[in-house]
A and B are shown apart, each in its own frame.
Chain A
Amino acid sequence: MGMLDPIKGFGVTFSTMFKKVVTEEYPEVFYPTAPRYHGRHQLNRHPDGLEKCVGCELCAWACPADAIFVEGADNTEEERYSPGERYGKNYQINYLRCIGCGLCIEACPTRSLTMLNFYELADDDRQKLIYTKEDLLAPLLPGMEAPPHPMRLGDDEQDYYVRGPELARQAGQDRQSSEVSAQ
């Protein structure tokens, strides 16, 4: 230990004062994530507001953490939530379990389940971290109508999928919808 060592130590401290700060001032300053960051999930809608989820449970099947719970049910002509025969009646994601791997969104056959960049998933109550269908459903954009309602964009579900991109462009939201987040 040399005589100058304490001064050297101060020197390090002093020189650090002029370096660029790496600390993030979260939560006062909110930095955006990388665009493809795996944040909170969202259950998307067709341009007329019908849900894309068909309750197939493939997301739950793919989930390595067993964080997703789905129950399907029958659409009826009187009460329709999605095009086609089947919709997701009950949908829950447990964010205490979710590891954000994204296998669920890869598994989703209808692009219903996607991930947002939203990452503020912490709470002091375990119950609140089980997100239900109401929490996860995408907000209704202009031109959308809250289900249940009949199919507005075609005669059967084929029209929704085959003409999907076109319909989305018509609704002017092919880009928007991916930007909509839960803020």
Chain B
Amino acid sequence: MTLAHQKPSETAQTEVPEGHVRLTIDGQEVIAPKGELVIRTAERMGIVIPRFCDHPLLDPAGACRQCLVEVSMGGRPMPKPQASCTITVADGMEVKTQLTSPVADKAQKGVMELLLINHPLDCPICDKGGECPLQNQAMAHGRTDSRFVDRKRTFPKPLKISTQILLDRERCVLCQRCTRFSQQIAGDPFIDLLERGAQQQIGTSETAELEKSASHTPDGTPFQSYFSGNTIQICPVGALTSAQYRFRSRPFDLVSSPSVCEHCSSGCAERTDFRRGRIMRKLAGDDPDVNEEWICDKGRFAFRYTTARDRIRKPLVRGEDGELHEASWPEAMRLAAEALLKARDGKGIGVLTGGRLTLEDAYAYQKFARVAARTNDIDFRARAHSAEELQFLAAQVAGTTPEHVSFASLEKAPIVLCVAFEPEDEAPIVFLRLRKAARKMGTRVAFVGQWTTSSVRKTSGELLACEPGGEAAALDGIAEHAKDIVEALSAEGAVILVGERAATMPGLFAAVQRLAERTGARVAWIPRRAGERGALDAGAVPTLLPGGAPVTDAGARAALEKLWRLPEGSLPAEPGRDTAGILAAAAAGELDALVVGGVDPDDLPDPRAAREALDKVGFVLSLEMRPSAVTERADVVLPIAPTAEKAGTFRNWEGRDRPFEVTLQNTGAVPDCRVLDTLAVEMDVDLFTQTPKAARADFVRAANSVTRPAATPVEAAPEAEQAKAETNGHVKLSTWRQLIDNGSLQVEEPHLAGTARPAVLRLNEATAQRHGIVPGEPATIRTERGELSFPAEIADLPDDVVWVPSRSPVGVYEALGVGHGGLVQLSAGTAAGAESAEGPAGETGGAA
């Protein structure tokens, strides 16, 4: 008793800090910051008030009324119980929750009874059953039986509001978490409250048409949100479920394991739930520093590639008959090691790692290249790339940490300038942060791009429109045409974000650096793939050692030789070739073997040349999960583990390490680092990367033993000076990949694929008129190599510029041979001659 009395009196004596108030909850005095919601203060004290609509990351709504408490101000009680999720703390407030107030308790019980009136109580067939807040609270606080005797309101169910998201309106308690999420967080208000009174419901269109046109909003815009899966996770009942997880399992079947998303470079925390060795679903993990509580649909739903029927589980060796045959690990290793040793002593080996490796695996690849293959011919960039980009990465990106630029600093920045970067498609969680920053902190977001994309619109962004390829000039001239942006960039905390597309534009990185130097803004590079940043820091590039030291640095080489116990002078000193250089050398017979990780030739600027190089080179070793254009041409294929079956670390774009443990144990799949370690042993070299843990320890030692040189200015590539090519009636092509397209990690996900944005060709009205193109009707772009057709859509692009998605579904590089900034011919209608269209499309289909 004395103890209980002491506590409040102590609080009573303590001074109330500036900006705080003193109030009482259930008889306990507490000091809370002004503006805090009562429900949150109670939560901090360990008093749980039941709630459905309240979510800490959404604006308060007070929709479900489950959190009613009794409140009195200065001794005067409020006439009715108040919703604690909408009322903020005030000085002298006295709050009584259901624990101490019979009034609050009765009010909550009443609300619960009303919520259950129309609830179908179909828990046995509901996906939420077993982890349902409504179920839990009804069991804990609800009545044992219903007094409601009339017919319940029913709706046809389930309603497909997209191919992935299913809506069951009977179960809904109208808490509006999903609609608030869509409006506030994602900016895709595709669902909203419809009707009134007892007929009030969540919907997407006029109720009359709901059944048929549910996936269309009234103005005909199809429902697509890259973040729709989050509404399922935050739904406090089973009203929103996913087609993918529907009826697959129950919470008690599932083993949950924390994991990290393997798709983009944000490195979101996830929770992977699996049952009997199969992943059933992924949920967003809670990491306030990175993804808060959200993930994109790709991260949530694209995981069935690990159980794809065609997954390679045993080593394959190309036999005499030219076909791949299953082989034992020792046999495959011996054959690979023999061929690689011969190639090393011959003309050499090139190593292409692909951009999806963990830090540990990338480290093992580079060590394999430098120690076992004795070459610097290693590159992680399986996409358009340039020497200028590499220089920029070495100077500005390698070795940076979240202290440089992080998710949090995006929120604090006065302005964020996105250059050649479409956040919603390339790093959706960065987009969510930018939107939050713009919405809540008043951050200005500016884009150097071609048209007002949904990223621009939803971040209230400003578009600095330029021609594709003209980005560098736009940045250089920014002081004249957008003086206010330069001024804002000069303020403390301003950030410039550069996307991977910048590598396709000569001179852009140099221009970015010049702008950063002029204004003092910080620059961050956001690649599209999860492994790129880690691979850069691990040294899987032709010019850098692990830790960011250049390969030409004799001191760094000596330190690594000592650390790796190599003879002095054995590390190659000459900078190696980049991806294009390696492929060109392979095609020209200057390399005898290629070691290829997860590389898809269609991502490269010249897919045909890449395939040709793979065909021509003497020996190809492929480390792959599923058959690909590389395994088709490989002599030995070694299967490797997908992310869920190995441990490792993704280093996200901030430079933050995102370590994860094995989710599915004992599947027999081995990570790249172990395969390479064993292969190196066969080649009589020790890499000491048997396990991700060992590889990581080795990486940390290596990174610490070298010093990164001071940043050097980026030299613009010579092409930057080239005179403007004669357009000759051509139009310029702007292109990037959409989030959901034909990526190899999105196979066997029909429901996810259905939520992809439609592939359209965008152009402005004047250009459309000039070429006789009608919106909605097909339009075709062509080069000498081939042609592509998409339905046309009008957008605010500059004159004579068209935009198409890069791989939805056909690869632009493959079909046209040009990428972002390239020149194409534009015409109305589908491909002119159906026969001529067959060519490129057919070939691409074969390769994909």
| Binary contact track A101-128/B, C-beta < 8 Å → 1, others 0 | 0000000011000000000000000000
With both chains docked as a complex, state the minimum distance between the C-beta of B442 and any C-beta of chain A, in angstroms: 46
The interface residues of chain A lying within 8 Å CB-to-CB of B730 are: none
B344 beta carbon closer than 8 Å to chain A:
no
Please measure, in the bound complex, the distance between the C-alpha atom of A55 and the C-alpha atom of B248, giving whole angstroms: 10
Q: What chain B residues lie within 8 Å of A110 (beta carbons)? A: 124
Residues of A within 8 A of B158 (CB): 85
Q: B247 touching A58 by the CB < 8 A rule?
A: no
Considering the complex, which residues of chain B in the window 233-275 have a beta carbon less than 8 Å from any beta carbon of chain A? 246-250, 252-253
> A34–B130 Cα gap in the complex (Å)?
36
Interface residues on A, range: 10 to 19
Asked if B12 is at the interface (CB within 8 A of a chain A CB), the reply is no
Q: Is A61 an interface residue (CB 8 A)?
A: yes
B125 within 8 Å of A by Cβ?
yes
Which residues of chain A are within 8 angstroms of B8 by Cβ–Cβ distance? none
Contact B248 A86 (CB under 8 A): no
Does B129 reach chain A (CB closer than 8 Å)?
yes
Which residues of B sit under 8 angstroms from A145, Cβ to Cβ? none
Q: Report the separation of the CA atoms of residues A72 and B248 in the bound assembly, to the nearest whole angstrom.
A: 6
Give CA–CA (A136, B14) in the complex, Å: 69
Residue of A84, A85, A110 ringed by the most chain B CB atoms within 10 A: A85
A55 vs B501: C-alpha distance when bound (angstroms): 49
Q: Contact at B129–A56, with CB atoms within 8 Å? A: yes
B252 A61 Cβ-Cβ under 8 A: yes
Q: Which of A54, A55, A72: most chain B Cβ within 10 A?
A: A72
Q: Say yes or no: A71 contacts B124, CB within 8 Å.
A: no
Q: Is the CB of A71 within 8 A of B248?
A: yes
- Do the beta carbons of B250 and A86 come within 8 Å of each other? no
Q: Known contacts A54-B124, A56-B129, A58-B124; is A86 also within 8 Å of B247 by CB?
A: yes
Which of A54, A71, A109 is B249 in contact with, Cβ under 8 Å?
A71
Contact of A72 among B130, B247, B252 (CB under 8 A): B247
Q: How far is the CB of B798 from chain A (nearest CB, A)?
A: 48
- Are the C-beta atoms of B125 and A57 separated by less than 8 Å? no
Contact B253 A56 (CB under 8 A): no
A73 with B124, Cβ < 8 A, contacts A56-B129, A61-B252, A85-B158 known? no
Which residues A45-101 have CB closer than 8 A to chain B? Answer: 54-58, 60-61, 71-74, 84-86
Q: Which of B125, B246, B250, B253: most chain A CB closer than 10 A? A: B125
Given contacts A61-B252, A85-B158, contact A56 B125 (CB under 8 A): yes
Nearest-neighbour CB distance to chain A for B164, whole angstroms, equals 14
Instruction: Using A85-B158, A86-B125 as known contacts, say yes or no to A57 and B250 having CB atoms under 8 A apart.
Output: yes
Q: Produce 1/0 per residue, B775-800, CB < 8 A to A.
A: 00000000000000000000000000
Q: How far is the CB of A38 from chain B (nearest CB, A)?
A: 22
* Choice from A60, A61, A84 contacting B125 with Cβ under 8 Å: A84
Q: How far is the CB of A143 from chain B (nearest CB, A)?
A: 26
B124 & A61 in contact (Cβ 8 Å cutoff): no
Contact A73 B247 (CB under 8 A): yes
Q: Which residue of the partner chain A has the closest CB to B246?
A: A74
- Per the bound structure, the CA–CA distance linking A112 and B646 in Å amounts to 41
Q: How far is the CA of A56 from the CA of B127 in the complex (A)?
A: 9
Closest B residue, CB atoms, query A86: B125
Could you say which residues of chain B place their CB within 8 Å of the CB of A56? 124-125, 129, 250
Of all chain B residues, the one with the shortest Cβ separation from A56 is B124
Chain B 586-625: CB-based contact to A (< 8 A → 1; otherwise 0): 0000000000000000000000000000000000000000
A74-B252 in contact given A56-B124, A56-B129, A58-B124 (Cβ < 8 Å): no
Tell me the minimal C-beta distance from B240 to chain A in angstroms.
Answer: 15
CA distance A56 to B249 in the complex (A): 9
Question: What residue in chain B is nearest A109 (Cβ atoms)?
Answer: B124
CB distance from A85 to the nearest CB of B (A): 6
Nearest CB to that of B276 among chain A residues?
A69
A85, B248: Cβ atoms under 8 Å? no
A85 to B252, CA, bound (A): 21
Contact B252 A55, beta carbon cutoff 8 Å:
no
CB distance from B206 to the nearest CB of A (A): 24
What is the chain A residue whose CB lies nearest that of B130? A61
**A132 to chain B: closest CB distance in Å?**
16
Inter-chain CA distance A58–B248, complex, in Å, is 14
Q: How far is the CB of B114 from chain A (nearest CB, A)?
A: 23
Residues of A within 8 A of B253 (CB): 57, 60
Q: How far is the CA of A61 from the CA of B125 in the complex (A)?
A: 14
Tell me the bound Cα distance from A72 to B246 in angstroms: 9
Measured CB to CB, the closest approach of chain A to B157, in angstroms, equals: 8
Residue of A nearest to B249 (CB): A71
Contacts of B249 in A (CB 8 A): 57, 71-72
Q: How far is the CA of A55 from the CA of B124 in the complex (A)?
A: 8
Contact with A along B653-695 (1 / 0, CB 8 A): 0000000000000000000000000000000000000000000
Contacts of A60 in B (CB 8 A): 250, 253
Beta-carbon nearest neighbor of A110 in chain B: B124
* Residues of chain A lying within 8 A (CB to CB) of residue B247: 55, 72-74, 85-86
Cβ contacts under 8 Å, A58 to chain B: 124
Q: Which of B123-174 contact A (CB under 8 A)?
A: 124-125, 129-130, 157-158
Chain B residues closer than 8 Å to A85, beta-carbon distance: 125, 157-158, 247
Chain B 104-129 per-residue mask, 1 if CB under 8 angstroms from chain A, else 0: 00000000000000000000110001
A101 to B125, CA, bound (A): 24
What is the CA–CA distance of A174 and B130 in the complex, to the nearest angstrom? 33
Question: How many Å lie between the Cα of A54 and that of B252 in the bound state?
Answer: 17
Task: Please give me the residue from chain A that is nearest to B275 by CB atom.
Answer: A71
Q: In the complex, which residues of chain B have a beta carbon less than 8 angstroms from the beta carbon of A109?
A: 124
Smallest distance from the beta carbon of A51 to chain B beta carbons, Å?
Answer: 13
Instruction: For the complex formed, measure the closest distance between the CB of A65 and the CB atoms of chain B, giving whole angstroms.
Output: 15
Bound Cα distance from A97 to B80, whole angstroms: 56
| A61 partner residues in chain B, CB cutoff 8 A | 130, 250, 252
Residues of B within 8 A of A57 (CB): 249-250, 252-253
Q: Which residues of B from 205 to 228 have beta carbons under 8 Å from A?
A: none
A142 to B250, CA, bound (A): 35
For B250, give the chain A residue with the smallest CB separation. Answer: A57
- In the bound complex, residues from chain A placing their C-beta under 8 Å from that of B124 are 54, 56, 58, 109-110
State how many angstroms separate the Cβ of A82 from the closest Cβ of chain B: 10
Q: List residues of chain B with CB within 8 A of the CB of A86.
A: 125, 247
Measured in the bound complex, the distance between the Cα atoms of B252 and A74 in whole Å is: 20
Q: Which residues of B contact A55 (CB under 8 A)?
A: 125, 247
Chain A residue numbers with a CB within 8 Å of B129 are 56
**Closest residue on chain B to residue A107 by CB atoms:** B124
Question: Which A residues are CB-close (under 8 A) to B130?
Answer: 61
* Distance to closest chain A CB from B250 (angstroms): 5
Instruction: Count chain B CB atoms within 10 A of each CB in A55, A57, A58, A73 and give the residue with the most.
Output: A57
Q: How far is the CB of B820 from chain A (nearest CB, A)?
A: 42
CA distance A157 to B167 in the complex (A): 19
B130 to chain A, nearest CB (A): 8
Q: Please give me the residue from chain A that is nearest to B125 by CB atom.
A: A86
Q: Report the separation of the CA atoms of residues A73 and B124 in the bound assembly, to the nearest whole angstrom.
A: 13
Q: Which residue of B lies closest to A82 (CB)?
A: B125
Complex CA–CA separation, A57 to B248 (angstroms): 11
A142 vs B453: C-alpha distance when bound (angstroms)? 64
Report the nearest A residue to B129, measured CB to CB.
A56
Nearest CB of chain A from residue B491's CB, rounded to whole Å: 55
A54 touches B246 (CB 8 A): no
Closest-CB distance, A59 to chain B (whole angstroms): 10
Chain A residues with CB under 8 Å of chain B are 54-58, 60-61, 71-74, 84-86, 109-110
- The 6 A-B pairs of least Cβ separation, nearest first, read A56-B124, A72-B247, A86-B125, A109-B124, A57-B250, A86-B247
Besides A55-B125, A56-B124, A86-B247, 10 other A-B contacts (C-beta < 8 A): A56-B125, A57-B250, A57-B253, A58-B124, A61-B130, A61-B250, A72-B249, A73-B247, A74-B246, A109-B124
A-B contact pairs, 5 of them (CB 8 A): A55-B125, A57-B252, A58-B124, A60-B253, A72-B125
